[in-house]
Amino acid sequence: MSHVDLKGAGLNLEFEPISRPALHFIDGQFVESAEGGWFDTLNPTTNDVLTQVAEGTASDVDRAVEAAYRAFHDGPWGKMSAKERARYLVRIADAIERHGEELARLEVADTGLPISQARGQAARAAENFRFFAEMATRMTGETFPVGDQFLNYAIRVPVGVAGLITPWNTPLMLATWKIAPCLAAGNTAVLKPAEWSPLTATKLAEIVQEVDLPPGVFNVVHGFGEVAGDALVKHPKVPLISFTGETTTGRTIMKNGSDALKRFSMELGGKSPVVVFDDADLDRALDAVVFGVYSLNGERCTAGSRLLIQDSIREEFEARLAERVRRIRLGHPLDPATEVGPLIHPEHKRRVEHYLDLGRREGATMAVGGEVPRELARGNFVRPTLFVNVRNDMCIAQEEIFGPVLVSIPFTTEEEAIQLANGVQYGLAAYIWTRDLERAHRVARRIESGMAWINSQNVRDLRTPFGGMKQSGVGREGGHYSFEFYTEWKTVHVALGQHPIPRFGVSGMETRS
């Protein structure tokens, strides 16, 4: 029986009512949709309506892009020094910290993320702004001297209006991961948040207004992907699209933007392996395996959702794992003791449950899982689940479930572990547990993933390139890699002396004069 708690002995587990609708933020003003549409955003803990959200269409996207275009070409933003822009970013970071608790509680209400984890995400959102503020002031160019003939140099210039399209998992943190480098580099932005998690983007717009960011520099248009997102992708005045979301959506977006030859950054899905060898520190590996897939309600792109376990330790490790998974505290996300909360939406819950059925039908054994207790029935709760006796060709081992579900697959040799790790379409992250350092580096290099962690959980270093291989993405963000995406290289050639210039069209001129 896993720990379940919706009462929270003596704790205040009431969500604050949200008295205002979530509006678009265009040209420094909060506005309704031009066509007047609204949709509801739900609280995943109860499935009650939290508030109404303005439903953006192509005309709202157009208004926002025009505002961002004016702010880029005519406003002060592009003309400011990096240092001046960085000052604004630091003010945004300070304001996020001031409103940190409110942002965290909004995120819990809108997404079901447990409060202890939502607080961490709010802190990271502030850190994103602080980090890229500093990075921007360190942005340099390159020089290419050619003796005393030429001085050639290359500088980075902003691209223009960026379309930022974000998913519903950790929406505040992921949005700021894009907004901060985008603005730091001198671009202006239109953010289209996911329709299931609009509230923290709206609060962020309030923060931007509070710190007096020039109008039009940052805009938010709410709405559905196929309408508002699509209009942003196809807009002729938006040269770059940074997208985080599902692989299938990423493909559609790249097709839709290809006629205009847009620049894309694609951070897509994953099915990341955690490889545990028999010589590993098994206590630490166990902690990391459990946290790596069940944190953030399992709705985590870099989740270690496939455990590859060496068969010599399989029985014992799986038994200890099952015991821990059974004890995970599923419960009310405002309770600080809760470890796993509800999934974002009833539709997503159905999708995850479909995989639970499928896993059984494919012949895997559900070692931990099952019905959620009655007191959680209103919300989108799914019991943390562990499948054992899984083969790598099963759908539950191949497809991204994006919920609190771990599959365990045995291997015998290092070579087999690598083959299994690589035997999926995705290549986002990998986690390797072994005390054999040579093997650790060898395996990290051979697993096809954009990132690998050795004897570590997913600890981010914001300076390093973040992104995936194969169907997990295109391009990298993070550190100066973000500026590769959010800037253009402009090369300037300067003649310092009298270099020869071939003279065309001079024949006969001397004899005539």
What does each C-alpha distance from 450 to 268, 439, 441 come to in angstroms? 12, 19, 14
Choice from 121, 128, 169, 310 touching ligand NAD (CB under 6 A): 169
| Residues 99 and 156: beta-carbon distance below 8 Å | no
Let me know how long the chain is: 513
- Please tell me whether residue 475 binds ligand NAD under the rule CB under 6 A: no
Instruction: Report the C-alpha gap between 305 and 316 in whole angstroms.
Output: 19
Binding segment (CB under 6 A) for ligand NAD, from list 10-18, 116-124, 166-174, 179-187: 166-174
Considering 55, 107, 195, 267, which one is annotated as catalytic? 267
Residue pair 444/430 in contact by the 8 Å Cβ criterion: yes
Nearest to 383 by CA among 341, 351, 348, 355: 341
The torsion angles phi and psi of 146, rounded to 5 degrees, stand at -120, 85
Q: Are 169 and 299 in contact (CB under 8 A)?
A: yes
Q: Minimum CB separation from ligand NAD for residue 172, in Å?
A: 12
16 flagged as catalytic: no
- In the complex with ligand NAD, the residue whose CB is nearer, 256 or 389, is 256
DSSP helix/strand/coil, 275: strand
**Residues between 196 and 255 with contacts to ligand NAD, criterion CB under 6 A:** 224-226, 229-230, 233, 244-246, 249, 252-253
Of 45, 117, 166, 449, the one binding ligand NAD by CB under 6 A? 166
Cβ atoms within 10 Å, residue 233 = 24
Q: DSSP states of 406-436 as a string?
A: EEEEEESSHHHHHHHHHSSSEESEEEEE-S-
Nearer to ligand NAD among residue 58 and residue 280 (C-beta): 58
Question: How many Cβ atoms sit within 10 Å of the Cβ of residue 48?
Answer: 13
Exactly one of 28, 56, 186, 270 binds ligand NAD (CB under 6 A); which one?
A: 270
d(CA 422, CA 437): 21
By C-beta, is 7 or 251 nearer to ligand NAD? 251
Minimum CB separation of residue 234 from ligand NAD in Å reads 9
CB 400 to ligand NAD: min, Å: 5
Stretch that binds ligand NAD, among 161-169, 209-217, 324-332, 389-397 (CB under 6 A): 161-169
Task: Pick the binder of ligand NAD from 86, 126, 162, 165 (CB under 6 A).
Answer: 165
SS3 27: coil
The mark string for 274-313 relative to ligand NAD (x by CB under 6 A, - otherwise) is ---------------------------x------------
- Interacting residues with ligand NAD (CB under 6 A): 165-169, 174, 192, 194-195, 224-226, 229-230, 233, 244-246, 249, 252-253, 267-270, 301, 400, 402, 428, 468, 472-473
Catalytic residue set: 267
